[in-house]
Structures are given as structure tokens and as C-alpha cells.
Structure 1
Amino acid sequence: MKLIVLDRDGVINKDSDQFIKSPDEWEAIPGSLEAIAKLNQAGWRVVVASNQSGVGRGLFGMDMLNAINGRMNEALAQVGGRIDAIFFCPHAADSTCECRKPKPGLLEQIQERFNVDLTGAPMVGDSLRDLQAGMAVGCQPYLVLTGKGHKTQDDPDLPADTRIFPDLAAVVDALLD
């Protein structure tokens, strides 16, 4: 099974320091939805692993998170794409949970749910914590320069084998080439 793990905010959609708190605030990064559709058409399973601390902070509830993800899924469907599963950590940043990236809990849940070893699977993120979570289960880190990516590429802790691309569309083109 070909499986790719994507962060949501900053990879698929534009990020906001004030959080994406409603479907109206969700805006796809140009080319990201079409890139996911290309992966689907090539037989890839596409899974999202996302920290959503806005839930834990009380900025929005689960119903609103579901509505935001619903908007993403509707936009994907319009270009022939789909997300196979969305895994998220709803806990605040100061939580001691195991699911908040950079901890690998979300990736471990993905492995269990899909009965797959993620060693070598692409993990695409715009922040160091995305890449660290993926690396903890053996994923190949891909950094996109959308979202927080420009800042992240200068981080001295960036894993040495990180592949850096301008955006998700460029990652997908490289994977399918």
C-alpha cells in the first residue's frame, strides 16, 4: 500500500496564527487539492495527521472542526480527490498527551488503523514537529515552504535527510515522477 501522511494547516490549506476556526476561514493552498487528487488517481492512500489545539483551548468545538474538515473534503471532491482518514490531536499545547506532534501518537494510530509500517512513507509538513513525529516512526520527511516552512527550513534541528519542496504539488510531482 502506498500511503502518504500530510499535515493539514500550512500544507493543504493556508495557515493562520489565529487558528482556522470556521469553514469560512479554510482556504486551500493553490495546487494542493489537485495534488491530492493526483495521488488518489495513482493509487495512493492520503491520510492527514494534524494538531488541532484550538479545540483544547476552547476556540472551537468538535462540531466546528468537523465542519472545517467537511469543507476540505467537499473542495477535494470537486477536483476528484479524497482524504482516506483524518487523525488529529485536540489537546492544548501544554498537554502531556501522546498524540500531539512532535510525539508519534497520531502516526502510531495511522499504522494501527491501516495495518501498515510507515517506514519510508512520506510525511509532509511545514513545521519541525510534523517531521519529528514522522521520523519517530520511520517516515521520510518532506518539508513544504508553504505555511511555516520558510522558517522551519532554517531550524538547526531540521533532520538532515529532509526533502524540501516549494509546496505539496511539487512533492507529489516528485513522488509520481
Structure 2
Amino acid sequence: MADHRAGRPARLAPEGCLAQRAPTARPDGQLQAVLLDRDGVLNVNRPDHVTRAEQWRWLPGALDACARLTGLGLRLAVVTNQAAIGNGLLTAHELDRIHDHMAADLAAVGVPRPVILHCPHPSAARCPCRKPRPGLLTGALDRLGVRPAQTLMVGDHETDMMAATAAGCWSLHVRSGRGGPPAAQPGCLGSVPALREAAELVAAFATTDWRRPPLPRPDGRHPGPGAARKKEGARP
């Protein structure tokens, strides 16, 4: 949850903060963490907002995708705009209930509770934590103890890609939420159908140097690891 009194994300409770744990040792250059938008990436994006835990509906394959990502040794964080709070449609207490419900489902498939940060303000407030500004992402990076260049942001909207660019992270668009691929952004790897395919892409290139990541093809498919090795071994 974000604390906007000082313009910085609040400290997380120790049981919910992956940054309290020793980081998984991964070679320099490899991906370390994945930041996830929430609505349209993890759960079905409702036009009237998710305002009660009972309204939460996982997108097909999203739970398994999270398990696959953590199985690769990657850290997860959820970074979400929740203007429904600022607009009086949702309370902070109910948002906590929604996220507790989400975390319980993740725990059931072996995924530790991720870092969860949100911005409660509508766009008119111009909050530095509201995407497309980078505050939520930089807060998550601090808590995870990872560098932007080794972090991938997965989102369903152009504002997610813009926030990733502003924070210095890579990004990947999924089409499971609010429409088709956004305009090109520096560091955006392309567009895939949903989080399941995003996890497949990450798994295929888990040992790749992400300082020079491969790009998904425009149809959302990607070359296999063998193709990546061939490309890396090619001579100019």
C-alpha cells in the first residue's frame, strides 16, 4: 500500500515483504524480478472496478503463470492504480481484503505473498505514484532489492509501459485486459496474449543476458531458447 503523505510508498509488514529475505543468487544480467499490473493481467478487468473480494476472478492461466515465474527464482510485485479509492467507490480496508484473497490463492499454488503497492488517487491528482509516473515501480524495486535493468513490467495498458520506461525497466504488454498493443515505448519487448504467454517467454529466456533481450514476434510468438543461443553466438 502506498503512503502519499510523504510521496513515498509505505513500509510493508515483514510477512508481506520479499525484500526481507536474502535475494536469490542469479548471474549478473539475468532477469531478477517481474512487476505485475493487477486488473487485466491477474484478474478479470471489470468496467465498474473490483470493489469486493467476492468479485475477484482470476484470468485463465494467471495463477499457474505466477507459480512458474517464482519457480524460476524470480521475485514478484503487484503495482496497481486504484483510483476507485479516491473516487469513493472502494475503501482501503476492502482493498486489503481483496489483496488478502489474492495472496491466499497464490499461496495455495506455492507462491509467496508478493510486494503489493497501489496508488489510490485519480489521474487529476497527478500523484507521482500513479502510473504512467514511475513511483509505484521504483517503490517496488526498492523493496525487492533489484535493479531496473533486470526487471520486467507486465501490463495491459500503455500507462504500464510508460511507467516502466520512466523507471528504467523492461516491459511486456498483454492483451488480456484493455485492448491491443500500445504505441511503441523504449524497452517494450512487444505484446503477448496473456500472463501465461508472458511467463513462457520469460522461462524460454531465463538464462539470457537481459541487457540484450530477444524480442517476441509481432504475432505474440517467440523463438525458442535454441534460436536465442544461435542469435547470441552469431558473428557480425
TM normalised by structure 1 equals 0.92
Among candidates 143, 148, 154, match of residue 124 of structure 1: 154
1:47-72 Cα offsets, whole Å, 9 max, x none, are: 01100111111101111000111111
Q: C-alpha separation between the residues in 1 aligned to 2:172 and 2:115?
A: 20
Q: C-alpha separation between the residues in 2 aligned to 1:46 and 1:17?
A: 26
Give the CA deviation at 1:32: 0.4
The one-letter code of the counterpart of 1:102 is P
Query: Percent identity, aligned pairs only?
Result: 34
Among candidates 34, 46, 57, match of residue 16 of structure 1: 46
Larger deviation: 113-122 or 3-12?
113-122
2:107 touches 2:113 (CA, 8 Å); kept in 1?
no
Output the aligned Cα RMSD: 1.4
Aligned residues: 173
Q: C-alpha separation between the residues in 2 aligned to 1:120 and 1:24?
A: 35
Give the CA deviation at 1:44: 0.7
**Alignment partner, residue 84 of structure 2:** 54
2:42 touches 2:59 (CA, 8 Å); kept in 1?
yes
Larger deviation: 9-18 or 110-119?
110-119
1:118 touches 1:138 (CA, 8 Å); kept in 2?
yes
Are 1:40 and 2:73 an aligned pair? no
2:75 touches 2:144 (CA, 8 Å); kept in 1?
no
Give the CA deviation at 1:98: 0.3
The one-letter code of the counterpart of 1:96 is R
Give the CA deviation at 1:158: 3.1
Structure possessing the higher radius of gyration over alpha carbons: 2
**Alignment partner, residue 201 of structure 2:** 174
The one-letter code of the counterpart of 1:164 is S
Q: C-alpha separation between the residues in 2 aligned to 1:170 and 1:83?
A: 22
| Structure 1 ranges of 4+ moved more than 6 A | none
